Amino acid sequence: MIRRLKELSILVLLLICVGAVIVVSGIFPIKASSGHWPLTAWVLDFASDRSVAFHSRGIRVPPLDEPGMVSLGAVIYETNCAFCHGQPGKSLPHVARGLTPSPPLLTAVADEKEPQELFYIVQHGIKFTGMPAWPAQERADEIWPVIAFLQALPTMDAASYEAHLAPTSLGDGDSLSTYVTAHCAACHGFAGDKRLNRRIPMLAGQSKEYLLQTLRAYRAGERKSGVMGPLAHRLDERQLSQLAEYFSQQAGGGPESTEEFGAAADSADTALHARGKTLVLRGDDAAKIASCADCHGPGEVSRCAHYPTLAGQPAWYIQAQLELLAKRQRGGGVDVTLMHAIADKLDERDRRAVAHFYSRLPTP
């Protein structure tokens, strides 16, 4: 028995030495051009699938059929994913084919995963595959539109995909209009007043100072977003300033439509509206909540240009931002910490009330 243990120990030691020699010598090829051995590929795929299935348990899938959700997901996919995973009607991009393992052409395989599994993969990425984690781990709300899109992707043709990316041209062909067309208009509209989805803020009516501060915060990673962060990171200071000035000069639109965004029940809730009106216009002295209007409007009082105007913004968006502020997951410019103490004092109903009231106001 003791002899066998010694022989086993010697064998293990020899294997360790052989492994060390292989690693230190560098004779084992790591080149992506050769791909994986079939057995290695199978083991990695099987282990990855089982890990995703296990860790995605318990993830709650929200409704994925809200208006504009697939279109929003298509825009995010085009910006963040298509260069590796391809587009409807096209083969896998050439550079992506050189990866090992090669990224899947999602038009063919996206329906093989459950929504919660797709969410887990997009949020956390997969080690040793080149699949990155979502750039802003705090912003799970940005990922669900991508999942809604991926659910529709296997049956989507090229024309339908292009329709989701709708904008084609702003008109004059200069560099600014080209950038707005390519990267902004699909979500925000050419004039910054488009409501593609309730998750998207309107930019029209905001000050240049606020928009520029926000873009700088996205570029620096101070404001968390896996969508806006990568876009802003590509821009220099001159381009940020041009975009901020462009959208600040656009006229705002009307108040949010109650039918389009499923808020008909809220519009009939006079108590909720009254509470929102009180918080926005007067605050709550007993709870030590200052009036929202002093900083964010409405009203004629002089306000700091670095503060956003909230009138006419989608209710869902305002409420989500307040929740992110309360959790310290939003980030922002130098003034964002002023909102933390206020967000802490608002319960869920108060956040809904404020968002409801502001969304029914016309934009400036």
Neighbours of 31 (CB within 10 A): 7
Query: So what's the pLDDT on residue 28?
Result: 79
Residue 257 has pLDDT above 80, yes or no: no
List the domains of the chain with CATH numbers.
50-164 (1.10.760.10), 178-248 (1.10.760.10), 264-359 (1.10.760.10)
- Please give the average per-residue pLDDT across 273-279, as a whole number: 94
**DSSP annotation of 289:** B
Residue 211 has pLDDT above 50, yes or no: yes
The residue whose two tokens read 């003791």 is 2
- pLDDT tens readout for residues 134-147: 999 999 999 999 99
Query: So what's the pLDDT on residue 167?
Result: 65
* Rounded alpha-carbon distances, angstroms, from residue 107 to 84, 85, 231, 361: 12, 8, 24, 41
283 phi-psi bin (left φ>0, alpha ψ -120 to 50, beta other): left
- pLDDT tens readout for residues 105-162: 998 888 899 999 999 999 999 998 999 999 999 999 999 999 999 999 999 999 999 9
Distance of CA 132 to the CA centre of its chain: 14
Query: So what's the pLDDT on residue 266?
Result: 45
Neighbours of 28 (CB within 10 A): 8
Percentage with pLDDT > 90 across the chain: 61
- pLDDT tens readout for residues 1-40: 777 788 788 888 999 998 888 888 888 788 888 888 899 8
- pLDDT tens readout for residues 216-234: 999 999 999 999 999 999 8
Query: So what's the pLDDT on residue 364?
Result: 74
